Amino acid sequence: MTKHASSLDFAPLVKQLIEKSEEGKLKWQPTANRKAFIVSVSASVSFMVSVQDPVATTVGGGLSPVNGEAVTLTLFDANGQPVWDIHQRNVQRVSLRDLYDSARRIGNNVDERLVGALSALERL
């Protein structure tokens, strides 16, 4: 028998996503929404992490904003259809904001851009 979704512990999943991202094993990609990043972990599973305005989320979705924005992790199936949304209130001991920050850093190639900027500054 499977657990009811509200009783699932999503912390191990989020922790693994953060760790694999920081190890360079997950290649987050930007989406058309500049506040959302997506990654595929297998042929049948992908995730999107995004932030929403607190006004939109606190009124419509009842989410708790983190640092002024609510972070959502969405699970997608093999057809790209959303299966489940995970919110910070569903995750204990691990921050969805940390996952979002890692995904944004990878998706926007921040490390490479900073190295390029430092190199350009050194040549001045």
40 beta partners: 46
Number of structural domains (the chain) is 1
Where in the sequence is the domain holding 36, given as residue range(s)?
Answer: 5-123
Q: For 55-98, what is each residue's pLDDT tens digit?
A: 544 544 555 554 567 899 999 999 999 999 999 888 888 999 99
Q: For 102-113, what is each residue's pLDDT tens digit?
A: 999 999 999 899
Phi, psi (deg, nearest 5) at residue 16:
-65, -40
Q: Which residue, chain included where needed, has tokens 């999107």?
A: 48
DSSP single-letter state for residue 112: H
- pTM confidence score: 0.80
Amino acid present at 1 = M
- pLDDT for position 93: 85
- pLDDT for position 66: 46
